[in-house]
Structure 1
C-alpha cells in the first residue's frame, strides 16, 4: 500500500515511486482519507516541478524578438510590411524591450497615456494597439484586454465644382513653368483622381499595360486593400491618359512628394490651411459623393472604389438626396380612404 501507519495510533506515511525514485515520508495526517489526499497533492507537486524545470520552461521572449518572429511569419509578404514593421519597432521605443509575458492591462494603459501625450490621433493609437495585439496573439499570449479606442468620425470633405476649378487653375498657372513645371502634371493628376476615385499611390503606380482603351477600363492590381478592380474611364480621363502616352510606361512619373508639395502650395494659395480635411484624399471622397449624388447604387460605388466592405461605402449614403426625396414623396402621399 502507498499510505500506512507505522504504529496503531500514529501518523500515516506515504511510500511510492516517482520517475524511478522512491518517495517515503510522513503525510502528517492521522486518517487514511487525509493521508491519501496528502499523497495525491505531493505527486501533483512533483509533476509540476518536472514540467517547469529550467529545460522545460518556455523561454522568455522580448518584444523586439517577438516583432522579428511575427514579421517573418505574418507581415513579410504583406503590401505594407515595412510600415507595420516600423510601427512595431515604435512600440519598443515607447514601452522598452520588455518581456511579452509581462504585458498586462496596466502596461496597455501606460502605452496609451504615453501616446496621448505625444498628441497622436486616436486612429494612430489604434494602429499601435492592433499591431501589439497581433504580436501577442501570434506568440499565444493573453491579449483580450487590448481594446481599440472609439474613433471620432470626422466629416467627409468633398470638393465643390468651383473648388475643383480653382485647384486646377492654380496648378496650371503660367508662373509654374519656370520653377515648378511638374505642377501642370499634378493638375492632370488631380483630374484623374477626381474622376476615378483612385488613391494617389494607385495612379502614380499605374502603367499603360493596365490601361485598356478598347474596353475603356483601367485595371488596378496593387492597392491598399489587396482587391484588384477595374474602373471605367470618363472622357476626360481617357483624353488625359491618351495624351500623355509616350516612351514612359507610366502615365504619371511624378514622385509622391512633389504631388503632395503641389497640393500643399494650392492649400496656401487658396487660404485653406485651416481646413485640415482639405487633403488629396478628399479627391477620392469627392468621386464617391458625386457617384452617390447621381443615384449610383452603393454596391456599385463599393466596387468602383475597391472598398473591403459595404460598411465603408455607407459613409457616403447620407450624401444622396434621391433616397430622402423618394421617402418624402411617400410621406406626402395622401392616406387611402
Structure 2
C-alpha cells in the first residue's frame, strides 16, 4: 500500500480481496494524497471499502471526448474531422450511457441499425474501431474500466481492394481542366504516390532537391518515409520553388494576394470539378496514388518495391495491384518449358495424345 506519482497526480495502490487496486487520488499535493489514502486504509480495516469502478460513473461521451482530445486533436486535421464525423453517429446512441451499460448486445444492435440505414461496411468498421481504441486506452491508461465490449463483437469484413486508375491521355485531360494552382499538386501526387495530406501540406523543409528526395517524418502509419523523386516530380517542384536559395514553409500556396497555404478540402473540390468538366466519373484525388502504383507494376517494378514506395506496412495492401502484371506470372511458369520434352522422351512414356470428346 502506498503512493506513486503519474503526470503530476498522486495515485494510490493497495490490495483488496487479493487483487491489486490502483486509483487516482486526484491530488497533486502529496499531503492531500496521503490523507485520501489514510481514509481508504480505515475503510479497509473496518470492512467498509467497496470497489466501485469508474465504469459505473463515467459516460461513453466522457471517454470518447477525452480520447479525441488526447490522441486525435493536433495529430492531423483530417483525422480530427473524421473522428468528429464518427462521433456524430455514436454519441446519440451511446453518449449518455455509462461505460458498464455499453454492452456487446448494445453494440451489435447499433451495427445492425447502421447496416439497415445503408451505411457502408467500411464506415461501420471505422465507427467500431474508434470505440475499440477508446475503450483500450480507458482500460490500460485511465483505469476507467476492465473490459472492452467491442472485442466481443464482429467488426465485419471490408473490401478495400478498389483500384481506380487512368491512362496518361485521360490524366492529361484532367490536368488541363485543373486550375493553375492545382496542376503542380496533381503532378506531384501522380509521380510520388503520396497521400493527399502529405502532398498538400508538404513543407520545403521536407524536400531535398539536391538528393532528389521527399522525407516525411510521419505518414498515416506513423512511420518515417523517404520518397525518391523522378524527373517529372523534380521538374514540378522546380516550377513552384521560390527564387530564394533556402526555401521554407508550405510548398503549395494559393494564387491570391495573401498567399495562404492550399488546404486539402480545396484540392478535393477543385479536382472533382476538373474531372466532371471532362466527363471522368468515379475518379478521386486519392486515385492518383493508385495510378502511380499501377503504372509501376505495369512497367515491371516488383511488388516489394512498390510496397516500400507506397509506405504500406502490410504487403497485402500492395497485392491489389498484382493482377496488372500478368506477364510477370507468365515468366514465372516458363521454368517448365522443357518439361514436356523431358517426360515424352522418358523410357516407357510415349508422346501425349490429346483426346477430344463430343
Q: TM-score, normalised by structure 1?
A: 0.72
RMSD across aligned positions (CA): 2.6
1:213 equivalenced with 2:209 (yes/no) = yes
Q: CA deviation at 1:89?
A: 6.0
**What pairs with 1:251-270 in structure 2 (closer than 5 Å)?**
251-253=251-253, 254-270=262-278
1:76 Cα deviation after fit: 6.1
Per the alignment, do residues 167 and 73 of structure 1 end up closer, same or farther by CA in structure 2, a change over 3 Å counting? closer
User: Is structure 2 residue 147 aligned with structure 1 residue 141?
Assistant: yes
Task: State the structure with more CA Rg.
Answer: 1
Number of the residue aligned with 1:250: 250
SS at match of 1:222: coil
1:1-337 alignment runs, 5 A limit: 55-59=50-54, 60=56, 61-71=58-68, 78-79=75-76, 82-83=80-81, 85-86=83-84, 87-88=86-87, 90-137=89-136, 138=139, 139-143=145-149, 144-171=151-178, 183-246=179-242, 249-253=249-253, 254-273=262-281, 275=282, 278-335=283-340, 336=342, 337=345
2:17 matched residue in structure 1: none
Cα deviation per residue 1:51-98 (whole Å; 9 max; x = unaligned)?
Answer: 8x6843224121112224444665567546634752346412233411
Shift of the 239–85 alpha-carbon distance from structure 1 to 2, 3 Å rule, reads closer
For residues 102 and 258 of structure 1, what CA distance do their matches in structure 2 show? 42
C-alpha deviation, 1:192, in angstroms: 1.0
| Pairwise CA distance, 1:134 | 2.3
1:284, distance to aligned residue in structure 2 (A): 0.2
Give the secondary structure class of the aligned counterpart of 1:272: coil
Mark the runs of 5 or more structure 2 residues left unpaired by the alignment. Answer: 1-45, 140-144, 254-261, 346-358
Deviates more, 1:317-326 or 1:279-288: 317-326
Q: 1:74 to 1:288 in 2, by over 3 A?
A: same
Per-residue deviation, 1:313: 1.5
Q: Which shifted more, 119-128 or 238-247?
A: 238-247
Q: Is the contact made by 2:177 and 2:275 (CA closer than 8 Å) also made in structure 1?
A: no
Measure how far apart 1:155 and its partner are.
3.3
